[in-house]
Each structure stands twice: as structure tokens, then as C-alpha cells.
Structure 1
Amino acid sequence: MYFNRNDIDQLDHIYKINLINSITGYKPANLIATKSKSGVTNVAVFSSVVHYGSAPPILGFVLRPTTVRRHTFDNIIETGYYTINHINEAIVEDAHHTSAKYPKDVSEFNKTGLEEEYNNDFYAPFVKQSTIKMGMTFLQKIDIEANGTILILGEITDLYINDDLVEHDGFADLMKANTAVINGLDTYAIPTKNKRLTYQRPK
């Protein structure tokens, strides 16, 4: 199959978004949880979390245009806090359901089997069933003019990870955690094999 730029524009909308979202490869599967100033929690699935640096530890994720209300975005801007929680095999179905569009006053925690957890007085809730979870402090909003999306950058201030997942050199074994990845918009996979290679130097 071959598509030129015009061909891509002419594709059926659902076909196009499925194709373009899946050809990028496997993406991280995370739940981002927030809480409004009025105390209503929100949790939603995201596949765009990216590492932007380790010192300081910065992660970013992309939000679609705010032409409609984005509860995650509103809560982060209002409070400055959110959490990023890995999706594992046991919670895939509940995690995926958080993509449903509920009103702002309805918490997805109450519509799924996902449970809120609060640690060390951090404002936003963590997902109890997640084995790797990060408390994030909002740093910066970057408007992407090309398509109206928004890049949110945050700093990891709290990190919780099961002891048995961390190797002697600090490597987090996500396969052992049964961490899920996302292919496209709606397909989840659980990696079953790791191959670590040594740091490479010129031959």
C-alpha cells in the first residue's frame, strides 16, 4: 500500500485516525489522575507520556485541543498537581473505560473498579492498583500551533514503585510489572520479553 499526502487527507475519518495512531509503534499506557479545587477527582487514559529529562526529572504529555472542556487540563491548571500511573494487565478494561466522556462532576473512579489512593499529603489521587506511580508538579504549558494540541510538562516530585521491579542499576523492569502498552487507540498489549543491551561505544 502507498499513500501520498492527498490520499491520507481523503481517507475515511475513522480509518485515518486508526492508521496514523497505530503506525507510530507501541506507546506507553498511563492513567493521569487529577482533582479539581472543589474536590472532584478525574482519571483518564493517555498514550502520549514522554521522558524529557532526568535532572530534573521531567515528563510531558499531549492534550487534544481545548475546543471542548478537558477536565484533566482544567484541574492541572487550577491546582498544579497530577499523577501518572502505569496501566497493568489487571486493570486494562477499567483503564480503557476512562476514555468515556463523563461530565466534570462525575469521577471516573466511581464508574470503574479503579481506586483512589493518597500518599504523603499529595493533592491529586494515585491509582491504587498501579505498581508504578508518579506524583507530578506542573511546570509548563506549550501550545502546538500546527494542530492546536497542548504539551504539558511536569516534574516528578514523588515516585512509588514496587521493590521487586527495580534492578541493582536502577532499571525498572516493566515486563515483570505486566505493564501494558497501546497500539493505536484501543488495542492493549503486554510485553513478554526483554533484551537489554550494553552501553555502546565506537568500535
Structure 2
Amino acid sequence: MTNSEEPKRFGLENQVRRNPHPDFNKVENSRPKFDFEKEWTYTQIPNKDWKIGSGANDSSWKNHKKIEIDPYGEGRNPIDNYKTLISAVVPRPIGFVSTISKEGVRNLAPFSYFTVVNHDPPIFTIGFSGGRGNPKDSCKNILDTEELTINIISEWFVEAANYCAINSPIDVDEWKLAGLTPLESTKVKPQHVAESAFSVEGKLIASHEWKSKSDPTRATGTLCIIEGVNFHVREDVINKELNNLDILKLKPVSRLGGITYARTVDGYEKPRPDFDKEIAKDEVKELLQ
């Protein structure tokens, strides 16, 4: 599972060489077993006594200089940018997208070029490798039908979700391969994933095709802007008083670089500062003089 549903027939996966292990099963078997008992906990923020204007909580960054990388520099392959970006912009949420083709074939695939960008109306973005003329299955279905569902991936079905990144032909139904359970949607045709604790029925608002900087005649990606028109939330996961989801029960999975996923098992809280209150402090006034 990767950015934009690992290009099924577009050659990117072969160029990326994402899996660094000659024998993945051997490496996997050498690691500690998954800890099912580990649950969400709160810790203190790294420096609970941080002072206004004091900057980073650790000065070791001063021991290293930054190097400059021109994404369009001579000899730099777009694959280099891909590897850099997916390992730097982390963790990324994963959009598990369900679509149906014009011919009625279902498709289910994960994407980590995905996020929410607005709440009124609810707006989501999904990025796909490949242009409109040579789109991935999910992208083609969205452009053709303008409908989809987006499902959040949790720990209890990550293996099945990952399998849906398989480079199968367009007429293959990934639901069957993964063994996941489809639920009928209300406002769109594509079904949503029963195993997912939070699903969104969505409709396409707009799309934009990206062209290569080195070869403007070649389309390299498609951005889809989606409006969420209906939500489905598992009853025990939503906090009805606050209208938010309980992360202890949601157990979301995020995407890192390569073939790496991350759990969300601990965090810390810190209120946002209020300028009207902060400006009354002498130390803040001094910093702004």
C-alpha cells in the first residue's frame, strides 16, 4: 500500500524498488510479535517547561547542516523525489477507496496521497499516479462515475487493506481477494467497508492533471477533489457528546516511507496560545519589540 495505490501497470513500482529485503519473511519472523495489548496512552509533551521564545527543545540540530535539493536538478530522477517525499512527509493518513466502473466492476484500493482539507463542506483530496489518459483503476472509475467511498484503515484489517494494493487487472474485484465486507451506501453506488470504523460517501467536485516538468507532454498524476456527502461511523468509536472519534478505539494506521506502516499508540496534549492573553505577558512584549 503506497501513495496512490501503487501504480498497477505504470512501471513506477519496478523503479521504486520499495522492498529493501531480499527475503521479507525471514526479516519479518526475526522481529518481535505484534503487541495486541498495547493501547493508546498520553505522555507529557517533550518539554513541559518550554519557555516562550526558547525555540527547539533539543539543540542537537545545530550539529548538522541542511543540504539543498533542486527537485528539477540535472540528473535527478522523479523517482528520487518520490522516495524523498514519501519518507519525509510522514505519517500520512491512508484513504481506502471503493469505486465501481461504468461496467459495474468493483475496485478497492489504498492511497496515502490523501487528506481532508475542509469541513464545511467536507472536502478531501486524493492523488493518483498517471494522467487522465492513462489513469489507475480507481482514478478512472472516479473520473467516469464521479462517485466513491473513502474508508479509514484500522489495525484490525490492515493486512486485507494492504493486499488491495495488488497490481491486478482492472476487471479484478479486490473485495473478493481481501475478504472484506461491503456495506451498501446511501447517496453513492460504491459500497463502503464494513470493517472500517469511519467511512465517507463522496462525490467528485473537480480534477486536475499534473504534467512532468522535464517533459510537459507527459502526464504524471491526477488530483481529485472530493466532497463528503455522507458519513458512516461505528457506534462504539464515536464520542456522541463531543462528536469526535475515540482514538483508543479507532486504532488508525498511517503510512511511512517504503513498505512501512505506523501505529498510533501514544500522544501528548498542548493547548493553543491565545494572542490576546499572551501579549499581556512582559516576556512576549519584549520579544516583539
Q: Which runs of 5 or more structure 2 residues have no equivalent in the other structure?
A: 1-63, 214-219, 279-289
Alignment pair present for 1:79 and 2:145:
yes
1:111 is displaced (CA, Å) by 1.4
More deviation in 171-180 or 52-61?
171-180
Q: Which amino acid aligns with 1:189?
A: A
Q: Which runs of 5 or more structure 1 residues have no equivalent in the other structure?
A: none
Match of 1:120 in 2: 186
**Per-residue displacement from partner, 1:39-85 (whole Å, max 9, x unpaired)?**
11001111122222111111111111236441111111111110100
Match of 1:169 in 2: 242
Q: Which has the higher strand share?
A: 1
**Per-residue displacement from partner, 1:80-104 (whole Å, max 9, x unpaired)?**
1101001111111121121111111
Alignment pair present for 1:181 and 2:254:
yes
Distance 1:51 1:9, change over 3 A: farther
Contact 1:51–1:59, Cα closer than 8 Å, also in 2: yes
Q: 1:139 aligns with which of 197, 202, 205?
A: 205
Q: Which amino acid aligns with 1:83?
A: T
Distance 1:180 1:9, change over 3 A: farther
Contact 2:188–2:202, Cα closer than 8 Å, also in 1: no
1:125 is displaced (CA, Å) by 1.4
Query: Over the residues paired in the alignment, what is the CA RMSD in angstroms?
Result: 2.6
**Per-residue displacement from partner, 1:139-189 (whole Å, max 9, x unpaired)?**
000223456322111111110112333332222233421110111142111
1:16 is displaced (CA, Å) by 6.3
Match of 2:91 in 1: 26
Whole-angstrom CA distance in 1 between matches of 2:212 and 2:82: 17
SS of residue in 2 equivalent to 1:5 = coil
Whole-angstrom CA distance in 1 between matches of 2:176 and 2:122: 31
**Structure 1 length-normalised TM:** 0.87
Distance 1:6 1:153, change over 3 A: closer
Distance 1:161 1:194, change over 3 A: farther
**Structure 2 length-normalised TM:** 0.63
Alignment pair present for 1:160 and 2:232:
yes
Q: Which amino acid aligns with 2:69?
A: R
Query: What is the total number of aligned residue pairs between the two structures?
Result: 203
1:15 is displaced (CA, Å) by 7.2
Task: Work out which of the two has the higher radius of gyration on C-alpha atoms and give 1 or 2.
Answer: 2
Contact 1:31–1:95, Cα closer than 8 Å, also in 2: yes
Residues 37-116 of structure 1: pairs in structure 2 closer than 5 A? 37-66=102-131, 68-116=134-182
Percent identical residues: 21
Distance 1:13 1:157, change over 3 A: closer
Contact 2:93–2:254, Cα closer than 8 Å, also in 1: yes
More deviation in 12-21 or 113-122?
12-21
**Per-residue displacement from partner, 1:115-143 (whole Å, max 9, x unpaired)?**
22213263011112111100001100022
Contact 2:90–2:256, Cα closer than 8 Å, also in 1: yes
